[in-house]
Copies of this chain bind each other. A is one copy, B any other.
Amino acid sequence: MASLNILMAQMNTLVGDFDGNTKRVIKIVQSAIDTHDQPVVVFPELTLSGYPPEDLLLRPSIELRVDQSLELLCSQLPEAAWVVIGYPKREGGELYNAAGVIHGGKLVAEYHKQCLPNYQVFDEKRYFVSGSAPCVLDIQGVQVALSICEDIWEKHPTADAAEAGAEILLNLNSSPYHRGKRGERWEMVAERARQAAFPIVYVNQVGGQDELVFDGGSFAVTADGTVAAAAPSFEEGEYWLQYDNENKNQPFSGQAVNAPMNEMAATWQALVLGVRDYVNKNGFKGVVLGLSGGIDSALTLAVAVEALGPERVEAIMMPFRYTSQMSVDDAAEQSKTQGVTHKVISIENIYASFMASLEEEFAGTTPDTTEENLQARCRGVLLMSISNKKGVLVLTTGNKSEMAVGYSTLYGDMAGGFDVLKDVPKTLVFELCRYRNTLGPCIPQRVIDRPPSAELAPDQKDEDSLPPYDILDQILEMYVERDMSAEAIIDHGFDREQVQRVLRLVDINEYKRRQAPIGVRITRRGFGRDRRYPITSGWRIGL
């Protein structure tokens, strides 16, 4: 009989911070050996560089930095531990996405990732070449194989490991969250385990990195595909598994199966973690946002307070002649409920001074969206001034539906460093508000119930110029996330003219999205690295 003490080190790494990440690895392993003999400590993909390091991988000093980290690990890690870490490895002029095992002060095995994702947000073929062989090593009498992330989504790396005699596979991941992803992972890994007839331990990183949020949720499946252990999602931590290779049916003990979060809670947690890590990893003191009395800024405020605490959040209401009293009141009420600093700064005088200065330029013209954009830009400049003066980040509040159709003002409500709801469709904004209010009082009910309005013109409603959001979001999901054509969407029962108008709006607003702040990706296709469209384009919908 052979058994292993396996630790799933669900770590929150920082991209580019070789020193910091290396020290964290050492600390985690030192704690592990205090409680368990000869632990096998498994870290996420590209532990030392963080993920995704992007073009930092093109810098020549990457090699030196990795070598220094590995040397430090070899000299400082407890010799009895088996430590499985990920790092970029240059060999023979090529760069590999590697996983190595350190034991007894030496690197005793190394694996090179075979399947390199180069789709969606991933660009791994820009940097890496593929490995071509399995890696199986003997750890205390157990034949242990390694693989990395995407390797588990194709068949051959796991099959080859089985062929090479593996009894168990350790899979290192930096797998970003999107809605439904956890279920997809469990299913895929279970299928691979059954095919290979061995158990698999899936270790994922946790944390926000620019537009990505890694959700953790590390887990282990048995050879029959049963999930035998699952760590929490969205929490950093270390989770023990006792593995016994004689007990084929129940090889794992020690770690409970954390029931999967419902998707609404997971989405909420993803937004919170995304904001917290962006603000903290970038060293901001706190955040400021424009609180309009509308639902988007209400939810943004709620997420910010959960992420950072009320003392690091400032809400500014910037009324104008079209702002309703209801908006002013509701904004004040939520700020009070949440305990954040609340200020009111009117934009009347600023707006008036712009219009006076533009009098000659605008002579003979009639009001149009220019004046609406101007209101938004007065607000944007105010927020940026506060940001500059106080060293706080401006959170923007645009949702995915608005980003899609360009219902937003560049340098106005789009001015800021991080757009919390960038990948949240408006209908989901409503659901998240309702979800948040189940956790305790937060967003005034009236904010959720009233018809959405940008309040940039008298009695304006979003639905005056856009289809109802439940229709709009369905069309957008089909076009943006599922690449369906206009005809295919119309075939689903939507109005031809409406579909064509929405798709056209999506197409012509690429220029706005290109200058938009980044935000948390929570769907299968967010705007950002995920969707790379030309601005200049003669593409016409209709096929």
User: Hey, which bits of chain A sit against chain B, CB under 8 A?
Assistant: 14-17, 19-21, 50, 52-56, 58-61, 64-65, 118-119, 123, 125-126, 208-210, 277-278, 281-282, 343, 345-347, 349-350, 352-354, 356-358, 360-362, 365, 368-370, 373-374, 377-378, 380-382, 384-386, 388-389, 410-411, 415, 417, 483-485, 511, 514-518, 531-540, 543
Contacts and interface: CB of A to CB of B under 8 A. Distances in A.
Given A483-B58, A537-B15, A538-B16, A356 B345 contact: no
A282 B535 contact: yes
A61 B503 CA distance: 14
A408 to B, nearest CB: 13
B385 A485 contact: no
13 contacts: A17-B540, A52-B534, A56-B537, A59-B485, A119-B126, A343-B361, A345-B357, A345-B358, A345-B360, A368-B388, A370-B388, A370-B389, A374-B385
Contact of A373 (B14, B362, B369, B384): B384
B61 A543 contact: yes
Contacts of A125: 118, 125
B278 A16 contact: no
A209 B536 contact: yes
A212 to B, nearest CB: 10
A295 to B, nearest CB: 25
Given A118-B118, A209-B534, 4 more contacts: A15-B534, A17-B538, A373-B385, A378-B381
Nearest to A344: B360
A350 B347 contact: no
B389 A381 contact: no
- In order of increasing CB-CB distance, the 4 nearest A-B pairs are A17-B538, A16-B539, A370-B388, A411-B411
A538 B350 contact: no
A18 to B, nearest CB: 8
A535 B518 contact: yes
A358 B386 contact: yes
Given A350-B354, A382-B357, A386-B358, A210 B58 contact: no
Nearest to A511: B417
A233 B64 CA distance: 43
A389 B365 contact: yes
A538 B14 contact: yes
A511 to B, nearest CB: 6
Nearest to A50: B538
Given A54-B532, A56-B537, A543 B64 contact: yes
A144 B60 CA distance: 42
Nearest to A49: B539
A210 B514 CA distance: 11
A280 to B, nearest CB: 10
Contact of A381 (B56, B388, B411, B515): B411
Contacts of A374: 381, 385
Contact of A370 (B361, B373, B377, B385): B385
A478 to B, nearest CB: 12
Nearest to A381: B377
A209 B534 CA distance: 8
A16 to B, nearest CB: 3
